[in-house]
Structure formats: C-alpha cells, structure tokens
Amino acid sequence: MGGPGRDPGLRVSPRADRIPRPGALRETSAVARLLHVFIHHEIQAAELCGWAILAFPETPLEFREGLFSIMLDEVRHAAVYSARVEALGASYGQHAVRDWFWERTLACESPLQYVALMGLGFEGGNLEHAHRFDRLLRDAGDTVSADLVARVGREEVAHVHFAARWFTEWSGSAPESGPDFERWAAELPAPLTPAVLRGRPLDRVRRGKAGLSEAFLDRLEGSGTTSSPSDR
Ligand SMILES: [Fe+2]
Ligand SMILES: [Fe+2]
C-alpha cells in the first residue's frame, strides 16, 4: 500500500518541518506557521488510522472501531487548528508540509508494530511536546493558541491508552504492568529508538494515566539521546 493522496496544490517537502524559534512566537505569522505544522501532524494521524484499518483487516473489530473513533478525533484536531490558523490570517497549504509520520509508519509490518510506533511512539511523545508548546505559546502571550494545544494534548492521552492496551495484549506483556519497555523498543521500525520518541521532561502523570508503568517510564527516561531524524 502506497502513501497518501495529496491535493496537487499542496507542496510536500522531504525536509524537516521548520518549527519557529520560541522567541519568534510573539509574531502572529510564526504562531500560524507552528500551528500549520500541527494541522499536518493531525491530518497524517487521521490518515494513518485509516491506513491501519485497511492494512490490518485481520485485527479484532473492536480494534478497528477504536481506530475509526481516533481518526475522527484527529480530523477534529486538524479542524480546530485550521480554524485558529485562519483566525491568525493564514491558511493550510500556505507552507510546505512533510509526510514524516507516513514515511516512518509505512515500515510497520504488523498491528503490533503500528501501535508501538504510532500510539506509544508518536502520540506518546506528543504528550511532552504539547506541554512544551503550550508553555511557549503562553509565554509569548497567545493564550488562545496555548489553550488549544493544551486541550488537544489532553485528548491524546486516550489515544496512547488505546495503543498501550493493544500492545500489552498482542505482545503478551503482563496485563497488570502494561507494555514491556524492551519489547516496545524492539518493535520500533529502524532507525527509530525510544530516545527520539519522548520529550523532556517526561510527562509521567499523563503517560501513567495512559497505562505505562513506573518501570517503563524509568527506562524511557533513561534511554540515551541520539540524533533525531526530525527536528520535532
Ligand atoms: Fe490529535
Ligand atoms: Fe492522537
């Protein structure tokens, strides 16, 4: 199965997204540019739920129904970011986008790898990124955008929880302790490693609510830093 269909007017770049510097976020145009990146993250998250429903038809119906419901959340997230970008005088498609989640996720060969990468990896890391950008936007004086990022971040906890539940079941991890760290790291498609799938400081509270154990979080926190393939 190939990559996503794209509007011919949308410029897709192989380069990493340009995230504005924190000091630049006092400029409306820089906030719009940041949220433009987030819109495309949400669109890819929605698309990849759809991709996984089609790629893994042998999975339980409950899993695919869960993906469908998450897909609708991601569409809604893209829509609220898009509305905010328009309120800031810009629009989706104005900047080039990168299909980084697609590039990595197409390497997943099993539903176990998919929940390891998408739910526990990208969406898990987003729990930390949401805090960071909430704070940066608030410090820059844009409380409306900060509140939006915070709200979306809170809603992602359930998505990570969904992935943790299915990862535990399919990997044979002990139900009472949730995903096993070693097993999770082993299921990530190369070259991704745990260290590029978390932010600092680790959001232990939200990750705990999402079903990750203290032992898992200790290992994640201690995992070595490597150079990230993206500048996220
Ligand atoms: Fe989302
Ligand atoms: Fe999500």
Confidence of residue 12 (pLDDT cuts 50, 70, 90): very high
Query: 46-92 pLDDT, tens per residue?
Result: 999 999 999 999 999 999 999 999 999 999 999 999 999 999 999 99
| Domains annotated on the chain, with CATH | 25-222 (1.20.1260.10)
- pLDDT at 203 (0 to 100): 96
Closest ligand, as measured to the CA of 148 = 1
**Apex 225 CA angle, 49 and 122, nearest 5:** 10
Q: Tokens standing for 187?
A: 């299921």
Least confidently predicted of 120-129, 155-164, 222-231: 222-231
Report CA(79)–ligand 2 centroid distance (Å): 14
Instruction: Please check the confidence at residue 228 and state whether its pLDDT lies above 50.
Output: no
Residue 226 CA to ligand 1 centre (angstroms): 26
- d(C-alpha 227, C-alpha 209), whole Å: 29
Model confidence, pTM: 0.93
**Separation of 65 CA from ligand 1 center, angstroms?**
17
Encode pLDDT of 130-139 as tens digits: 999 999 999 9
Residues 145 and 53: their CA atoms lie apart, in Å, by 32
Q: Kindly give the distance from the C-alpha atom of residue 124 to the centroid of ligand 1, in angstroms, as a whole number.
A: 11
| Cα of 170 from ligand 1 centre, angstroms | 24
In the prediction, which pLDDT does 18 show? 76
